[in-house]
Amino acid sequence: MMSFFSIISLLILVLSCSSVVISDGESFQKLPVPENRSGPEAFAFDSTGKGFYTGVSGGKILKYTPEMGYVDFAQITESSEVFIAVGVKDASGKLFKYDPATKAVTVLMEGLSGAAGCAVSSDGSFVLVSEFIKSNIKRYWIKGPKAGSIDDIFSSSVSNPDNIRRIGSTGNFWVASVINKVVVPTDPSAVKIDSNGKVLQTIFLKNEFGNTLLSEANEVDGKLYIGTLTGPFAGVMKL
């Protein structure tokens, strides 16, 4: 999960009766993280297709390849802001745009409650931003007749959304979701939505992960890579 106090971006439903619901899958693989660490929370894939990078507890970034498993890649400062932000219902999150040519930083959105993740549409016309605490997804229009405006057509589509990942050039997105209870998040699931907020597919993951804070669902080459903030393994599900 990204910092609840800001999201840096280069520039994220009520289930319909036509939605596809998949129960716990048969083709599921666990990739336990080493050294009793937890939280393979998000994935960035090697451009060569040979593995992925993920952050775990203790501020470590690990690289995973099928040949070598997990190996240390980098060390960063560990953040403990996430649970504090949820507890106080923080609403200080922002969405930034960074221009690498001019190095200018522009604030596009403010007042986000639990800003957990963002994803730009395949045509670059908008960016979706999840609000975990508010249980909401906002859409900020980057270009076109609505440029600069914000809408909430994704409100209540996905319960307590975390990271949002675009699915290639399909125009669809995977959203990590839980039901945020006072004691512990429950009923983790991966929810696929289209560019208009319609739920296309829901994969329930309680059998695989238990009641935990699901942080990401990322589809690559016919497999769904699933991360959690506090779990001891990354999950890989064949679609």
The two three-digit tokens of residue 8, written as one number: 């840096």
The two three-digit tokens of residue 228, written as one number: 């959690």
**Which pLDDT value is given to residue 146?**
95
How far apart are alpha carbons 92 and 49 in whole angstroms?
A: 37
**Which pLDDT value is given to residue 165?**
97
How far apart are alpha carbons 234 and 30 in whole angstroms?
A: 6
| pLDDT, mean of each 10-residue run, the chain (239 residues) | 37 30 65 90 88 90 93 76 73 92 96 92 96 92 96 81 95 94 84 93 95 94 94 94
Closest CA to 127 of 137, 141, 111: 141
**Which pLDDT value is given to residue 79?**
56
pTM for the whole structure:
0.84
User: Using a CB cutoff of 8 Å and minimum separation of 24, what contacts does 99-105 make?
Assistant: 100/10
User: DSSP for the chain?
Assistant: ---TT-EEE----PPPTT-EEE-S-SSEEEEEPSTT-------EE-TTSS-EEEEEGGGEEEEEETTTEEEEEEE-PPP-HHHHHHHTT---EEEEEEETTTTEEEEEEEEESSEEEEEE-TTSSEEEEEETTTTEEEEEE-SSTTTT-EE-TTTTTSSSEEEEEE-TTSS-EEEEEEE--SSS-EEEEEEEE-TTS-EEEEEE-HHHH-S--EEEEEEETTEEEEEESS-SEEEEEE-
Q: Are 193 and 157 in contact (CB under 8 A)?
A: yes
**Which pLDDT value is given to residue 88?**
78
Closest CA to 85 of 11, 13, 6, 4: 4
**Which pLDDT value is given to residue 182?**
65
**Which pLDDT value is given to residue 78?**
60
**Which pLDDT value is given to residue 22?**
40
